[in-house]
Chains A and B, each alone.
Chain A
């Protein structure tokens, strides 16, 4: 864990490009609950930056503060050089927010939604219509332009929602869980759209509870849990945080799984994580020699192994190692509360 220290240093100290977002000690309470409990964040311009965490970790609260929708209880932040609290209007002029739930008027058509927003930004009659049509074409929604949004599929709605955030090219685009609730194909579509957008130079701050999403899109990832940032770095750095030697074992007989987990834990001295289906165990092994010995111990105990592999941890495993619980389980626990 000795490479945690350089990672936790604010990026500002080694920055060469100006920052799109710089936050220090942001706090926001809701009654007794500390939704965000002292978060520092530095996001360089032009980067896709992911806030990764389970439900209830404080992601949405953080993004709503940075988008001026919530006032922080403590801490300071600048967005595109403007102070969040002192110059909210200037911040709003340089950001766009695509919230967790489609922020569109369902009764209006796609085109009318975009025209309304264009008019609010100050485009007049014909310019507003031209801007709407331009965006509809770029997002492949021209055919659906005159349909009411309530008849849109989830994927189309998301595309329109993101198009609505680009009426004026924002300095920072906030995307709160951009693919939650989408099918895999629509999710791929949104991902490629986000990558393309980033190529135009827009800074993108997205939140996600999908480790794969952060891994796929983001140049840097901040992992947050219970309102605190517990790690930050590139996907590679985060994986390196808990060592590269990860042993994955699948016992042939599912009945052996508990016994196998006990043996691995005793041998390797590290917490064992079960896969979602419960058929596979993952544990940090340190070196291949340690892994080999652990496997031999399993054999010696008479546990048949159908499959094993050694490799880098997935972000799931990183999350487990950092928080002590799997992201998915925590999800369910918080949903149940």
Chain B
């Protein structure tokens, strides 16, 4: 190793400090590289929703809606919501992995805008939600799903997907900052999210449930998100639907973003 010769390196001065925006962009680039190097992660992201879509459409579809073709029209928007809610768990896992490996120590010791690593995480999350959503939508189209509202409806639906992902992501960033083992973040994350995702109107109409459960389900934020998603894709959404769907993401952002910043600065 005698040929290792850092002594021959010239002294290098720092260039003009980059803007916070270009820092965030650099972290976003990292997220894109991760997709290129670890394409398997897409498999994790869409496997569960694809399984649910196939299972429910073909096994329960006939019983639930008369025919699989009718059921997929009901189910698919909800599956999109489920996908983004489930996948936001991975934001926390990614953060926890970075923290457990000391990578954030290096980032935090750089003269950069201190929150740019988070901005980068967000860029990665948005990409992840859009890619996973597109894959699920394609599967749906193959199975006979038709978004009545056309392209405009799909674009609006994806904006809602990004908003939901951004909002729920905060829960798991908090977990990621508190828990240094990525696997534990995932386990706790799914334990929290499972009942919330299932006690909703994603798969079944709440009217068919026992009264006490129906009362819970219609108040579940995931149900509001699903109603809005269906409405946007069918072209029947009202402004009220969308506002109700956005309530939870907005509240989560307002309440949890300061918590995340505090935890990050404290650590």
Contacts and interface: CB of A to CB of B under 8 A. Distances in A.
Interface string A61-77: 00010011100000000
A332 to B, nearest CB: 24
A107 B102 contact: no
Contacts of B1: 140, 185, 188-189, 192-193
B102 A100 contact: yes
B4 A69 contact: no
B180 to A, nearest CB: 12
Given A108-B37, A123-B15, A199 B105 contact: no
Nearest to B14: A168
Contacts of B8: 138
Interface in A241-291: none
A226 interface: no
Using C-beta atoms within 8 Å of the partner chain, give the interface range for chain A.
35 or more
Nearest to B110: A120
A101 B111 contact: no
A168 B16 contact: no
Contacts of B107: 120
Contacts of B26: 116, 119-120
Nearest to B7: A196
Contacts of B15: 121-124, 127
A97 interface: yes
A303 interface: no
Contacts of B109: 67-69, 92, 95-97
B6 A197 contact: yes
Interface stretch (A18-26, A159-167, A227-235, A306-314): A159-167
B16 A122 contact: yes
Contacts of A163: 6
A123 B4 CA distance: 24
B7 to A, nearest CB: 4
Contacts of B27: 116
Contact of B14 (A116, A122, A124, A196): A122
Contact of A196 (B4, B37, B98): B4
A202 to B, nearest CB: 9
Interface stretch (B17-25, B62-70, B131-139, B233-241): B17-25
A120 B112 contact: yes
A131 interface: yes
Interface stretch (B28-36, B49-57, B181-189, B217-225): B28-36
12 contacts: A68-B108, A92-B111, A108-B37, A112-B33, A116-B26, A119-B18, A121-B14, A135-B9, A138-B5, A192-B1, A193-B1, A196-B4
Please give me the 4 A-B residue pairs with the lowest Cβ-Cβ distance, nearest first: A189-B1, A103-B106, A93-B111, A196-B7
Given A89-B111, A105-B98, 4 more contacts: A121-B111, A140-B3, A167-B12, A192-B4
